[in-house]
Structure 1
Amino acid sequence: MTTPDQPIDAVPTTYGGTTFRSRLEADWAQTLDANGITWQYEPEMIALPSGANYLPDFWLPELGTWIEVKGPGIPRTEKAVELGKTRACHCDGDCTCRWPGGELVIIGRPSLPWDGNARGHRPSAGYANWESAFGPSAYHVTCPRCTRDQWITLRRPWTCRNCQRGLEKQQIHLPHERSLRFVEGSGGIGSAFSNPALDAPLTDEEIAAVDPYQDPYSHGLHDPWSDQ
């Protein structure tokens, strides 16, 4: 298990026939696969308005979403921010973009650990951690109609980016609410328990391996729709 303040080596890692520049990128690819999200790795070199060339890590073609994977202590997200600003919705009035709110750019971070208080079950892999590269926060949501996991912002209309159906009453989550399982199959403690039997008791070895890191912002699931 990788904690948010632990350095990550950029070790080339092969998964599913694709060689990624780092283990963290490979873990994100496995996480997307595990959650049924179609992805393309570094599909396009993009010329930004600033004149810089940018090769984002992942494009999610069914969701109109880019993911730039960054480890801890790597602040250089200027290109992701510029892409997010450029591809965001600029419609006057109702949004007519191909994807609601325009293309979304998020920063994929190292995983958050499982809840260290839940010591009566086997530890799972952690939970996905992300942030919006530009604009409003990105929330994880599962569409009840097409069952597609995705990220959206709170810009109206709240619409599935895959099937275009409304999400007005669907529960949405920020990263600290630990809603999206993260698969760490290429290295770290989490790789040993990527597919745990959640109803089995902890072994002595697993108890010793439980990550001591505690997210100070962790709390129970909250439904932001209830605040609207």
Structure 2
Amino acid sequence: MRTLSRSSLMLRAGAALLALVVGACTASPATRDGAMIPGPTNDPAPATRGHEQVAVFAGGCFWGLQAVFEHVKGVQQVWAGYAGGSADTASYYRVSDGDTGHAESVKIVYDPAQVSYGTLLKVFFSVAHDPTQLDRQGPDHGTQYRSEIFTTSAQQAEVARAYIAQLEAARVYPAPIVTKVEPLPAFYMAEGYHQDYYRTHPNDPYIVYNDAPKVAALRKLMPALYQTETALAQAQQR
């Protein structure tokens, strides 16, 4: 898919509907029965103190990732974009070819006094995507849809790797975790029409079948962590 033309949207919607019919789901297999995965045992305060911290995750189409994390209390801003490749290929047209090294990603700005990095990882590994799917998420296939954590500090890398080891040791999932952990080379903003796609296109079949259930799962499984869109707008104004 090179552009978000009517035909490409129809293809995405058709693939999403097929995934629904055959029983596929892009949320974590550990949460499909309504159970919640354990939180990380290693979740220290950030080494570099400050009001805002940044996390960057990749796990399938960035529309769904952005939708989920915008509803996490303590998150102040989420942008859809590209990470893992170079600046000259950081566009939807090129990234969709699957050969740029980029992954569709989200950059999350959050207040560590309200939500920890480990808690964001818990959301990432539970309701935001399925960390056992290699180079795909539900109906979307290709390296640009891989599961990856792009770290911005040595501490983030330590916490992420320790959490993956913890989840694997507990056999939380029926298959191995394939999530990569690598330092963030750079984050490039996606085109404007991708930003807040969940909020601006709530009736798009792709959103209805793939992303709305993730937001609903966050609200059901982590009610104390869930924030409304009004709360997010207020956080952005501070």
Class of the TM-score when normalised by the shorter of the 2 chains: under 0.3
Q: Work out which of the two has the higher radius of gyration on C-alpha atoms and give 1 or 2.
A: 1
Q: Which has the higher contact order (CA 8 A, sep 6+)?
A: 2
Query: What TM-score results when the alignment is normalised by the length of structure 1?
Result: 0.25
Query: What TM-score results when the alignment is normalised by the length of structure 2?
Result: 0.24
